[in-house]
Amino acid sequence: MRLIVVSNRVACPKGDEPVEGGLAAALVPAVKTSGAIWVGSSRQRTAASEKEGFAQMEPLGRGAVVTVGIPNEQFGGFYEGFANSALWPAFHSRTDLIRTKVEHYVSYREVNALIARPLLRLARPDAMFWVHDYHFLTMASELRKLGIAQPIGFFFHTPFPSRDIILSLPYHGELIQAMLSYDLIGFQTDADLENFADYLQQELGLAGSDNVFTTNHGTTRLASFPIGIDVEHFAEQANQSATRPEATRLRSSLQGSKLVIGVDRVDYSKGLVNRLRAFDRLLQNQPALKRAVTFLQIGVPSRGKIPVYRQLQAELASLVGDINGRHSEVDWSPIRYLNKGFSRTTLAGFYRAAHVGLVTSLYDGMNLVAKEYVAAQNPLDPGVLVLSRFAGAAKQLDAALVVNPHDIDGVARAIVQALAMPLEERRERWQGMMETLRSSSLDIWFSDFISNLAECPRAGRSTWTPDVGAAAVRARQLELTVNP
Ligand code: F6P
């Protein structure tokens, strides 16, 4: 069997290089061991990619990473314009932040079609395709138009919110209809799956049975597969990294104060403003904790061409300055705010050095930082995870201190409780969470999805789709421009 994995962002890290984003970080080890071909987008369109479709191909463990060149102009409409200014805010329940136009939608559809074309060359009879994330909702429909009848699966790394939220997304009907060309659609949680099924039933009038929907496209099955991490490997990395220079420098710089850590992309879905406010509240309410606690927030800059991301970046910088200005002493500052990424090994060592891991997402598909924080702990003296109830991880890690990130006082109280938690309780909670992590590891996620996809019928899958397709979307837009 040949497995072809498709996602917008791909990574082929050399040595200990940082990998951006949870999806890419999860797929690197999975591709390495499974031998899959991992196809993604690259902004550069070279002469070779014009001809061949593929811009570059590099080995990754037993597998390989391939990029498809996309012209810059089209990439902007696809990535910043539609994927991250329409789909991302909608899937994270921030409909107020949807800003898009038809040109962006056209680029989105065209990039899906453009990446689908070279995949045809990989479509051996025994091939299976696994498409990831909101960038490629219409990929299966484009592949079917090219005659591909092999199994195609899709996994939502983001949440899938309730129907009334999805109704605010421009072109939602076309997009979800096109998704019926997938044989299997995977979700992080049962709640996401139920929202999607509700949309199919109420908006598209489909009657499913046991999460299986049969239409003129063929049969689409919905199932949840909570994504995991490579627990033992990450724990080992944390153990080794604890004595490396970065972690040693961090620990000795704390001068005895306890460390609270947060690691995120700078994104409005992560609840970073609330998190800083909660830490500020903690210092206001418990001045005795000054000097006894330090907060390290790593905020990796993200999607900087989109105004709302730049505004958030500025707001956070100003808030950190304000809080530090009010609480600092000449030899102590409460918050260390770093706008850069670190390698996974270094992060593992930082997590292990932290007494509290803080995840305050307002809405999050899973949040792998929460899982990595737990896996990185010293079994003899584990730290405490404070976890938003709105991260998918909270459905599994209920032994964390689960908080409502909108309740600033509640988050502040949870941090205080975490800092003071007795060793016995910390161990008990940590052991419970480790059992959960082991029973839903990255390997299990990957092989569960693949074995479910392999069960999808190969023969008889109709390649017919009522979806309009990228070319028709472009033609429709031109018609509108010519005859306004
Ligand atoms: O599902 C969301 C996701 O793909 C994450 O895996 C990752 O953290 C993020 O989005 C990456 O976003 P970007 O590729 O825009 O940096």
* CA atoms of 158 and 37, how far apart (whole Å): 23
What residues have CB less than 8 Å from 474, skipping those under 6 apart?
106, 109, 110
Whose CA is closest to atom 14 on ligand 1?
Answer: 9
365 lines ligand 1 (CB under 6 A): yes
Burial class (CB in 10 A: 0-12, 13-18, 19+), 256: exposed
Ligand 1 center to 375 CA (angstroms): 21
Residues 301-337: pLDDT tens digits?
Answer: 999 999 999 999 999 999 999 999 999 999 999 999 9
pTM recorded for the entire structure = 0.95
Give the pLDDT confidence score for residue 462 in this predicted structure.
72
Residue 141 has pLDDT above 90, yes or no: yes
Q: 81-85, 373-377, 423-427, 477-481: lowest mean pLDDT where?
A: 477-481
Q: Residue 466's pLDDT band (boundaries 50, 70, 90)?
A: confident
Give the pLDDT confidence score for residue 484 in this predicted structure.
55
**Secondary structure (3-state) at 57:** strand
Give the pLDDT confidence score for residue 13 in this predicted structure.
85
- Top mean pLDDT of 73-77, 170-174, 212-216 is at 170-174
- Top mean pLDDT of 44-48, 114-118, 274-278 is at 274-278
Residues catalogued as catalytic: 157, 364
Rounded to a whole number, what is the largest CA-CA distance in the chain? 73
Residue among 157, 300, 344, 445 to mutate when testing ligand 1 (max atoms within 8 A of CB): 157
21 lines ligand 1 (CB under 6 A): yes
22 lines ligand 1 (CB under 6 A): yes
Residues 175-205: pLDDT tens digits?
Answer: 999 999 999 999 999 999 999 999 999 999 9
Give the pLDDT confidence score for residue 459 in this predicted structure.
65
45 lines ligand 1 (CB under 6 A): no
- Mean pLDDT value across residues 71-96: 96
Q: 23-27, 237-241, 306-310, 400-404: lowest mean pLDDT where?
A: 23-27
Residue 16 has pLDDT above 80, yes or no: no
* CA atoms of 431 and 423, how far apart (whole Å): 12
Please list the alpha-helical segments (H only) found in 328-439. 344-353, 368-375, 408-420, 423-439
- Number of the ligand 1 atom closest to the C-alpha atom of 302: 16
Give the pLDDT confidence score for residue 483 in this predicted structure.
62
